[in-house]
Amino acid sequence: MTTSTDRVEVRAGQYHDSVSLMRVSQAVGSRPGVTVAVVAMATELNVELARDAGFAVPGAGPADLLVAVRAESPAALEEAAAELDRQFAALAKGGASADSGGEIAPRTTRAAARSWDASLVLVSVPGEHAFAEAMDAVEAGLSVMIFSDNVPVEQEVLLKERAGERGVLVMGPDCGTAVVGGVGLGFANVLRPGPVGVVAASGTGAQQVTCLLDHAGAGVSHVLGVGGRDLSAAVGGASTLAALSALDADPATELIVLISKPPAPEVAEVVRRAVDGLSTPVVTALLGPGQDDLTAATEKALRALGLPVPEWPSWTVPQEARPAGLCGLYSGGTLCAEAEIIAGAGAFTDFGDDEYTLGRPHPMIDPTVRLAALESASGVVLLDVVLGHAADPDPSARLAPAIGRAAGRGAAVVVALVGTGSDPQGLRRQADALVAAGASVFTSNAAAARHATSLVRSAQ
C-alpha cells in the first residue's frame, strides 16, 4: 500500500532476525527526507507501533515482514525504497548458501542445528517468541545465546533450570555480547586472542573491560554473557556459576574476570563461594558503592597477568565548569550504573533499558531517542559511544552535530568511547570527530565520569 509519501508492505513469510532488521530500518530511516521507517517482523507490538505512527497496516502475522516508510516527498520515498532493496539484497547475499543444492531450509531450531552440526544457537527474535526457540535448543543439548530482550523472568528461570539438567549454558536473555572461540556474537568488538576469560551479566560492561585489555595488549579466550538478571534473587546466578565452571575447565583461560551490575547480596555470596573453589584465579567487578569500577578491575587483571597498566587513551578539549548539574545519557546499562555510582549525583538515563527498546532498535544501533534527549540537555552531559560489530557503523556522523549544538548552547559534553583500534568504525576516527565537535573523549568510562563530575563540582 503506497500513498504519495507513505509506503506500507507486508511480505508474507519473509523472516529476518531482529538485529538485521534494526540495521535495515536504520539505513532506510537515515536517508534524506525519510521521517519514519519501520522494518520489522509483523508482531502485534510492531503492527501497533506502525499504526500508532499513522500507517494503514493491513492484516499480518508474526511470520510476516512489515515495511512502513514515510518520507517528505515522493522522490525521497523512491530513494528510501531503493535503499530498502539494496539492504535486503545484501542480506540475501550474506545469507545465501552456495551448497544448499536446493534442499528445503530447516523449519525449527533443532533441525537447523542438526543440519550444521552446531553446538551453540543464537536466538534473536521478538521476546515473546524467544522462549520456544531457546528451549528447543536446550532440549537438543545445545548451549544458547538469547539476544532477545523483554523475555519474562519466569521463562528465564525455566530455561536455566533445564539447561543445568542438560549440561549446557544459557547466555541471556538480553545477552548483548559474547565471544566464543574467537567469534564475536551480538555487539562484539574486534579483540586480540589471549588468556582472559570473561563472565558478564552485562554486555557493555564486558565490552569496556575487554576493550581496555586490548588497549593494554592483553587478549581474551572467551566472553560468556549471562544476561543482566542472572545475578538477581529470582534467577540466582545459574548461568554465572555454569560459565565460571566452564572457563575454569578451559586450558586456554588463565584468568577469569567476573562482571555485573550490583547483584543481589545473597547471590553475590553464593558466587563468591563458588569463586573460592575454582583453580583459575578470578578478578571480580561487581559494581556497587565501595567496589572496584570496571577500569580498576581491568587494572587488577593486568597486574595479575604480570602486565603493565598503561595510561588509558583520552582526548580532552578546554571546557568550563558547569553549575547546572550532570546529565547522563547512556546506551549501556552497566556503564550508566558505573557512572552514576562514581558521580554520586545527577540525572542518569539508560536508553538501552527494556522500557526504551520495546519495539525500537537498541540505541547502539539507532540513537534517535537519545539524540532527542541530547538536543535539550544542559550543564555537563555525559554519554557513552560503543563501537564494534552490530553497532552503528558511524556513530559520530549523527552524534557530532548534536554535540556541536549542545556545546553551542554552553553545555560541556564528555564521552566514554568504548572500542578497540581494530573495530570497523575506527576508534581514532570516531574520537577525532567527537573532539572536533567539542567533546572530551575517554576510553575509560570511569575516567569520563570522574572528569564530568569534576566539571560540575569545580563550579559549585
Instruction: Confirm whether 284 is domain-assigned.
Output: yes
Q: Which of 109-113, 162-166, 350-354 has the lowest mean pLDDT?
A: 109-113
Q: Is the pLDDT of residue 341 over 60?
A: yes
Do 295 and 318 have their domain in common?
A: no
Tell me, what's the pLDDT at 102?
47
Higher pLDDT, 237 or 40: 237
Across 59-73, 120-134, 228-242, the highest mean pLDDT is recorded for 228-242
Domain CATH for 71:
3.30.70
Same domain for 249 and 297? yes
Question: Are 294 and 431 in the same domain?
Answer: no
The closest alpha carbon to 282, from 247, 316, 310, 250, belongs to 247
Name the 3-class secondary structure at 49.
Answer: helix
Higher pLDDT, 50 or 303: 303
Kindly state the cell numbers that stand for 197.
576469560
Sheet architecture: strand order including 326-330 = 314-315, 440-442, 412-418, 380-386, 326-330, 347-350
Report which DSSP code applies to 269: H
Indicate whether 103 belongs to any domain. Answer: no
Which has the minimum average pLDDT: 87-91, 92-96, 336-340?
Answer: 92-96
Predicted local distance difference test score (pLDDT) of residue 98? 37
d(CA 314, CA 431): 9
Q: Which of 304, 325, 351 is the last residue of a domain?
A: 304
Q: Tell me: pLDDT of 436 over 50.
A: yes
pLDDT of residue 450: 97
What average pLDDT does the segment 416-425 reach? 97
What is d(CA 210, CA 416) in angstroms, rounded to the nearest whole number? Answer: 15
**Is 446 within a domain?**
yes
One domain for residues 319 and 298: no
Taking the C-alpha atoms of residue 133 and residue 265, their distance in angstroms, rounded to an integer, is 32
Is residue 309 situated within a structural domain?
A: no
How confident is the model over 377-414, as pLDDT tens digits? 999 999 999 999 989 999 999 999 999 999 999 999 99
- The residue to which cell 539438567 is assigned: 165
> pLDDT confidence of 97, banded at 50, 70, 90?
very low
Report residue 222's pLDDT band, with 50, 70 and 90 as the boundaries: very high
CA pair distance 446, 440, nearest whole angstrom? 14
3-state DSSP percent of the chain in helix, strand and coil, to 5: 40, 20, 40
The model's pLDDT over 357-374, given as tens digits with 9 standing for 90+, comes to 776 778 898 888 899 999
The rounded percent of the chain whose pLDDT value lies above 90 is: 63
Task: Tell me the C-alpha distance between 383 and 367, whole Å.
Answer: 12
In a domain, 120, yes or no: yes
Per-residue confidence (pLDDT) for residue 36, from 0 to 100: 85
Give 5's pLDDT tier (boundaries 50, 70, 90).
confident
Clarify whether residues 89 and 189 are in a common domain: no
Residue 3 has pLDDT above 70, yes or no: no
pLDDT at 24 (0 to 100): 87
Are residues 121 and 11 located together in one domain of the fold?
Answer: no
How much is the average pLDDT of 98-103?
44
Neighbours of 14 (CB within 10 A): 15
Residues 6+ away with beta carbon under 8 Å from 457: none
User: What residues make up the domain containing 241?
Assistant: 109-304
Residue 105 has pLDDT above 70, yes or no: no
**Hey, what's the cell of 307?**
602486565
**Whether residues 61 and 147 fall in one domain:** no
Task: Give the domain-ending residue among 95, 128, 148.
Answer: 95
Strand partners, 68: 8, 38
- Of 73, 95, 117, the one marking the end of a domain is 95
67 within a domain of the structure (yes/no): yes
pLDDT of residue 249 exceeding 90 = yes
For cell 551480538, the residue is: 186
pLDDT over 80 at 13, yes or no: no
Indicate if the pLDDT at residue 208 is higher than 70.
yes
Residues 332, 414, single domain; the answer is yes
Predicted local confidence at residue 170, as pLDDT: 98
Walk across the sheet containing 143-146 and list its strands.
Answer: 120-123, 143-146, 170-171
- The number of folded domains in the chain is 3
Q: Is residue 135 domain-resident?
A: yes
Residues 6 or more apart in contact with residue 82 via CB below 8 angstroms: none
Q: Is 1 a domain residue?
A: no
Q: Residue 54 is placed in which grid cell?
A: 499513522
Mean pLDDT (whole number) for 294-317: 97
Question: For the residues of 375-406, what is the DSSP string, one character each?
Answer: HH--SEEEEEEE-SBTS-S-HHHHHHHHHHHH
Q: Please state whether 316 falls in left (phi above 0), alpha (psi between -120 and 50) or beta.
A: beta
pLDDT reported for residue 400: 97
455 near 414, Cβ under 8 Å?
yes
How big is the chain, counted in residues?
460
Instruction: Give kind and range of the element (H or E) at residue 275.
Output: helix 265-276
120 pLDDT above the threshold of 70: yes
pLDDT of residue 62: 78
Query: CATH code at 188?
Result: 3.40.50.261
Rounded Cα distance between 451 and 449, Å, is 5
Confidence of residue 107 (pLDDT cuts 50, 70, 90): low
